């Protein structure tokens, strides 16, 4: 009889780890861009701190997930009917995390007064965060396609589900 595979196998670690950076980085983009239009009652300071924390934690966890994704790649790529989707997912993931890393660095330089905050640089940072967000959404879309259309990294139970009895 077939056995149910472990949830802790190599290709699943990426799926388990990826949702934290998606949430943190998405919120960082939304918060920072919203903050450009909010000026009253201490909100700018709160948004700046929130964005900083979300970016730092998001970028660190995103790099961990990229590493786990590379581990999963070797296992999954041979099982897919269209490996190009996985490669596209990988390309946009790297793109997005590099852009977010650059944005985080720039934000840190602002926060620690290494460079003076100016309107053009603030807008440049917003563009970086929106670009990263766009890449993140597209990469997520491709990742979902790998899982839900090609069953990448997933176990397909037998027709009569005997292994669950």
Partner 1 sequence: MMKKACFTTIIAVFGLVLMQSCGENKDTDVVPSGTYTGVAETVEPGEKEIYVRTSDDKLLELYFTDNTKLTKNGETVEFNALSEGVSVEVQVEKKGQKLDPIAVKIME
Nearer to partner 1, 20 or 102 (CB): 102
Nearer to partner 1, 21 or 132 (CB): 132
Where do contacts with partner 1 occur on this chain (CB under 8 A)? 73-74, 77-78, 80-84, 87-88, 90-95, 98-99, 101-102, 105-106, 109, 114-116
- Least distance (Å) between residue 56 CB and partner 1: 16
Nearer to partner 1, 115 or 162 (CB): 115
Beta strands in 52-100 (DSSP E): none
> Residue 8 gets which letter from DSSP?
T
- What 40-43 contacts at long range (C-beta under 8 Å, 24+ apart), as own/partner pairs, is none
- Least distance (Å) between residue 41 CB and partner 1: 31
**Percent of the chain that is helix, strand, coil (3-state, to 5):** 75, 0, 25
- Least distance (Å) between residue 59 CB and partner 1: 12
Distance CA 1, CA 49 (A): 54
């Amino acid at each position: 009889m077939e056995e149910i595979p472990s949830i802790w196998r190599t290709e699943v670690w990426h799926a388990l780890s990826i949702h934290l950076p998606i949430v943190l980085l998405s919120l960082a983009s939304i918060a920072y861009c919203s903050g450009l239009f909010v000026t009253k009652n201490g909100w700018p300071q709160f948004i700046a701190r929130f964005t900083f924390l979300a970016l730092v934690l998001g970028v660190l966890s995103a790099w961990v997930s990229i590493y786990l994704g590379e581990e999963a790649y070797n296992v999954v790529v041979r099982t897919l009917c269209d490996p190009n989707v996985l490669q596209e997912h990988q390309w946009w993931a790297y793109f997005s995390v590099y852009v977010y890393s650059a944005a985080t660095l720039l934000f840190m330089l602002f926060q620690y007064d290494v460079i003076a905050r100016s309107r053009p640089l603030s807008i440049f940072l917003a563009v970086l965060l929106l670009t990263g967000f766009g890449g993140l959404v597209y990469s997520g879309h491709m990742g979902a396609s790998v899982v839900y259309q090609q069953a990448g990294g997933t176990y397909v139970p037998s027709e009569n589900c005997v292994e669950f009895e």
